[in-house]
Structure 1
Amino acid sequence: MTEVSVREAREQISRLLERVQSGEEVLILRRGKPAARLVGPAPGHVVFRSRASLRDELPAMQESASVAVRSLRDAERY
């Protein structure tokens, strides 16, 4: 892992990005302490399930939303 100061990183960002693309990690130091780490992107991408498939797994509603809200609201009053 390469360590560079913030000033060096600012001056050499293109070169640092090339090193990161080749698989190297770069640690950016501010006053000698780690401030940031440059790494390549994570491999692949996250695939989310469709909303339709999630919706199909939900149980059917037993009562309408207005009835449920009304009963909850009335229970809070007394």
Structure 2
Amino acid sequence: MRTVNMHEAKTQLSRLVKEEFIIANNGRPVARVVPILDAPPVPRIGFLPPEVASQMRVPEDFDDMMSEEIAELFGTER
């Protein structure tokens, strides 16, 4: 297993996290980093946190909601 020093871990983290490795501080191992490859994708609606987004439901008629009112605002008919 690859061992990297603290500085390298900080500067190369996005490249390193694809594999398991150990972070050493002054030559002493201090942490083992393991990628989570099989984690399910987190459902997100916009900026809402996952625990809120998972409780949200988008209505079937979402695209048509208030379409008449919006058309009136623009002086058109739907």
- For normalisation by structure 1, the TM-score amounts to 0.44
Q: Return the structure number with greater helix share.
A: 1
Max Rg structure? 1
- State the structure with bigger RCO (CA 8 A, min sep 6), 1 or 2: 1
